[in-house]
Chains A and B, each alone.
Chain A
Amino acid sequence: MQDIDVLIEHRVTQIDPQEKRIEVIDLSKSETQCFSYDKLIIATGGRSRRLNLPGSNAMNIFTLKDIQDGIRIKTYIDETRPKRVSVLGGGFIGLEMCEAFRSRGIETFLFCRRDLPAGNLEREISERILKELQESGVHFLPNQEPVAFHLNGHGEVTSVETTKGEYSTDMVLMAIGVVPNVEMAREAGIELGKTGAIRTDFSQKTNLKDIYTAGDCCEVFNLISQDWVHTPLGDIANKQGRVAGENAAGGKATFHGVVGSAAFKVFELEVAFTGLGFQVAKRYGFDAESQMIEAESKVGYMPGSKRMLIKLIFDQRNGRLLGAQMAGKEGVARRINALAVALHQKMTIDEISRLDFAYAPPFSAPLDPILIAAEQAGKKLHQERVHGDKS
């Protein structure tokens, strides 16, 4: 970056939109200073949600949001050599950290509120994730929530008490979600959306003149549900940031929104999704139906071919794709992008089944798994239409 003043260890404590200035504490010197602005961008991000339970401020209960948290966790492991870790929450961060802890040889216990990890995904995908966790030696403890942490005389957690039992542990990672950092903006009179994140528009403006917002602190438009949602992900933050920056500098950029694509890896398993899940699609009023298939990642005779799951969610009224989820040990994370494009273009199941994808035996079967899934979904769609006509 060129000629940009970057002030680290400086915490902004107040925004004064009338005087167009902000109050900043230099944390290294504990000095407060005011800076005036013509344009302001609020990119305050999010923070890890924390449970407020007895003992939850123990020094070995961690959250993971930024590099400093990562360094803290790594240092604690290096210095104290924990034998057992309890991970609370089966989302991306919890799952990725299960892999990280196992790679350090730590016995890992994953606690989930629901009966499966990654509870926001389709059941079949979550079941596949659970199988991968169990094959990798993670102890899965479903259907329970922590109620207290028990500490020793040094203020270290030694066990987690849940609604189902008490489990001894040498450290805890809370990975139960992200809260947008909006308090300072709200105090300045900036409007929040119904998600609790900062309300914005397609040019990343807030309701206050000359103040823009971007990233995990604000909402983003979902192109499938046509709703403003809170989707705290780094790639979205980056794109919103570019738009906010361009407009604050006098440009006319637009951030059109997202279809809701993401991917992660749990041990050897790739998981990827785009668009809406079945239940969410129903909730938004779509006449949702789904089709799940299993297919090989390559032609069967090629060494290293792996099974993958694909679930397509589509609207029975017009055959339009609403979402897709995939899991498998090869060729998953990149393959989902074809379906993200299909979502952007509002393509139907039939249109997807006719796509001309590249083929060679090392990369897929002559019919790519996506084409097989779309064809099967099409059969279901047309059967239901015939049935519907009769009734």
Chain B
Amino acid sequence: MPRKEKLLIIGGSAAGPSAAARAKRVNPELEVTLFEQGRFISYGS
């Protein structure tokens, strides 16, 4: 089996989580990791 493709996302406010959700929906096989330096995500969307 081929290695799963990896998507990394830097930032968890508005754009990052939207990107993560859409990417996963378009390609459920994608391995998605989101990095956020604060303690909360999706606080700006």
Interface residue ranges, A against B (CB under 8 Å)? 1-12, 15, 22, 24, 27, 35-45, 66-68, 184, 212, 214-217, 234, 237-246, 248-251
Contact = CB atoms under 8 A, between A and B. Distances in A.
Given A22-B10, A248-B23, A38 B5 contact: yes
Contacts, number: 174
A238 B22 CA distance: 11
A242 B5 contact: no
Contacts of B32: 3-5
Nearest to B3: A38
| Interface-centre pick from B15, B26, B34 (highest chain A CB count, 10 A) | B15
Interface residues of B, number: 38
B26 A250 contact: yes
A184 B10 CA distance: 11
Interface in B11-37: 11-24, 26-28, 30-37
A215 B34 contact: no
Nearest to B10: A12
B37 A38 contact: no
24 contacts: A2-B24, A4-B20, A5-B31, A10-B35, A22-B35, A36-B6, A38-B5, A39-B6, A39-B7, A39-B8, A41-B16, A41-B19, A43-B16, A68-B38, A237-B18, A238-B45, A240-B15, A241-B15, A241-B18, A242-B22, A243-B22, A249-B23, A249-B24, A250-B27
Contacts of B10: 12, 15, 22, 40-44, 184
B13 A27 contact: no
The 4 closest A-B pairs by CB, nearest first: A215-B15, A241-B18, A245-B22, A245-B19
B8 A35 contact: yes
A208 B35 CA distance: 20
Contacts of A10: 35-37
Given A6-B34, A43-B19, A241-B22, A249 B44 contact: no
Contacts of A237: 13-15, 18, 44-45
Contacts of B34: 4-7
